[in-house]
Structure 1
Amino acid sequence: MTRLVSAYRTTDTKEITQDAADVTEARAQIESQVPDGFEIIQLDIGKTETGSRVTGIIRATTSTPIEATGANYAEAREALRAQVPEGNVGLGILIAEE
């Protein structure tokens, strides 16, 4: 019997856009708006007539632990993957017992 443990998190992202005199100021404004439990995963930088525009893409950092067992690794892995809801991604697999 094989027991696997893992976790999953959402793949949903949100955008925060800020215009400012320069990139550093726009980035600081975005960082101040990121809610608890989220992280910036990408910054896109552009120019405006009066300065810079920065768009931050953020995602949730929370994850949900899961585990599954099977007669062998392949069966346990499929049982584990079946627990990951659509719109989410698995974060790795650890063999807990074999």
Structure 2
Amino acid sequence: MTRLSSSYRTTETDQITQDAEDVTAAREMIEKAVPDGFEIIQLDIGKTEEGARVTGIIRSTTITPIEASGPDYPSALEALRAQVPDGCVSTGILIVEE
């Protein structure tokens, strides 16, 4: 019997855009606007007539743990992958016992 442990997170993202006199100020505004439970994964920087426009791409930091068992590794892996919803990605797989 093989037991696997993993977790998954969403791949969905959102964005926050801020205009300011310079990039540093716009970035600070974005960092303050990120909701609890989210993280910035990318910053896109552009210019405006007044200064800078920064767009922060954010995603949830929520990780959901999952486990699955099977008579062998391929069976356990298939059962584990079946638990990962569409729009989510597995964050790694550990063999708990074999």
TM-score by length of 2: 0.99
Question: Following the alignment from structure 2 to structure 1, what is the Cα–Cα distance between the partners of residues 62 and 86?
Answer: 16
Q: After the TM superposition, which parts of structure 1 deviate over 3 Å for at least 4 consecutive aligned residues?
A: none
SS in 1 for 2:49: coil
SS in 1 for 2:50: coil
SS in 2 for 1:95: strand
Unaligned runs of 5+ in 2: none
- 1:2 equivalent in alignment to 2:28: no
2:53 equivalent in structure 1: 53
2:68 equivalent in structure 1: 68
Question: Following the alignment from structure 1 to structure 2, what is the Cα–Cα distance between the partners of residues 88 and 56?
Answer: 20
Matched residue type, 2:36: D
Question: Following the alignment from structure 1 to structure 2, what is the Cα–Cα distance between the partners of residues 29 and 52?
Answer: 12
Encode CA deviations 1:45-95: one digit per residue, 9 max, x unaligned.
000011000000000001110000011111101100000000111110000
1:82 equivalent in structure 2: 82
Compute the RMSD of aligned alpha carbons: 0.4
Encode CA deviations 1:3-51: one digit per residue, 9 max, x unaligned.
0000011111000000000000000000000011000000000000110
Question: Following the alignment from structure 2 to structure 1, what is the Cα–Cα distance between the partners of residues 72 and 23?
Answer: 52
Matched residue type, 1:68: A
Tell me how many residue pairs correspond in the alignment: 98
TM-score by length of 1: 0.99
1:92 equivalent in structure 2: 92
